[in-house]
Structure 1
Amino acid sequence: MTLGLINANPVVHAKKERIPRSEDPHAHTDDSLNVLSEESISVDDKLGRILITFTPTVPHCSMVTVIGLCLRVKLKHYFPPHFKVDIKVSQGSHANEESVNKQLNDKERIAAALENPNLRQLVDECLYSNEL
């Protein structure tokens, strides 16, 4: 068994910056996708409730729970903790609508998801990345 260095003189390359593509094959704006609209957001200050209804772009969207989790984390930063947040997909907009709505509003599932380092990193990248 070797106790010394495997590669005593490694070649270290500079980190390359990711260059954003100027020609996005799916050049859509947030508005054109109609995922979220002002009409789909309801805030009741007296009752301390927020209801967000969003529409995935396709009925079999695999990112629907991540989108909902991102919305929840973002709202958590802007509203006091006593506000109850309900997040749902629009009726008939997703193949697993009932299951998704249950996941998006289950406190234990949300806590477990945010404890998962990979999922938390994905949420943070979605919310705070300058590349999006």
Structure 2
Amino acid sequence: MVSGLINANPIVYEKKERRARTPQGDVEEYAVEPIDSLEIFDHIRDIKDPEHPYSLEELKVITEDAVEVDDKSSCVRVTFTPTVEHCSMATVIGLCLRVKLLRSLPTRYKVDIKVAPGTHATEAAVNKQLNDKERVAAALENPNLVNMVDECLAPSFA
């Protein structure tokens, strides 16, 4: 975790109860079941905040409503809301979301990560950085940054 917190006292919300996914109709034996927004949310809800011992869900950085899936065109969009408009960890949070989804989803999916409009002072710059393949690849070559991402993605047993 990082010292010198930007948001020393974030509001912490209660986690929602996990819902069981309902079958999407009759699926033939070898058919691929479509991925929906609830499944995506379940993949990312437990990512830990880089500054606090809470999940992104508990801080309302991500919500079910902020996940969009177009299975037919293989697109996933996650819009997240930093806890403060000058959050220095916004890019790290977005990178955590991207890495988690790239590790979880079939390779056919395009992942688009965005800061919610009007919620960050440098929203355009953060969005550009998070959705530029070369910048993401360069960030993931930095061992310190990769360690931070891995720490945020590590399962919590608390």
Amino acid at match of 1:55: T
Say yes or no: does 1:45 pair with 2:71. Answer: yes
Counterparts of 1:116 and 1:71 in 2: how far apart (Å)?
17
**Contact 2:10–2:83 (8 Å) recurs in 1:** no
Paired letter, 2:107: P
CA contact (8 A) 2:82 2:90 kept: yes
What TM-score, normalized by structure 1, do the two folds share? 0.75
The amino acid that maps onto 1:75 is: L
Question: Does residue 90 of the first structure (1) align with residue 116 of the second (2)?
Answer: yes
- What is residue 114 of structure 1 aligned with on the other side? 140
TM score, norm. by length of structure 2:
0.63
Q: Name the counterpart of 1:28.
A: 12
Aligned length: 108
- Percentage of identical aligned residues: 58
Q: Please tell me whether Structure 1 or Structure 2 has the larger radius of gyration of its CA atoms.
A: 1
Contact 2:69 2:75 in 1 (8 A): yes
The DSSP-based 3-state class of the residue aligned with 2:100 is helix
State whether structure 2 residue 46 is matched by structure 1 residue 62: no
Q: Which has the higher helix share?
A: 1
- How far is 1:32 from its partner? 4.8
Q: 1:118 to 1:36 in 2, by over 3 A?
A: same
Contact kept? 2:10, 2:59, Cα under 8 Å: no
How far apart are 1:76 and its partner, in Å?
1.0
Taking a change above 3 Å as real, the CA distance of residues 131 and 117 of structure 1, as seen in their structure-2 partners, is: farther
Q: Does 1:78 align with 2:104?
A: yes
CA distance in 2, matches of 1:55, 1:27: 13
Any gaps of 5 or more consecutive residues in structure 2? 1-8, 14-54
Deviation for aligned residue 1:77: 1.8
1:70 maps to a residue whose letter is: C
Q: What runs of 5+ residues in structure 1 fail to find an aligned partner?
A: 1-24
Q: Distance in 1 between matches of 2:103 and 2:119?
A: 27
For 1:27 and 1:42, locate their aligned partners in 2 and report how far apart those are by CA, in whole Å: 25
Q: CA deviation at 1:57?
A: 0.3
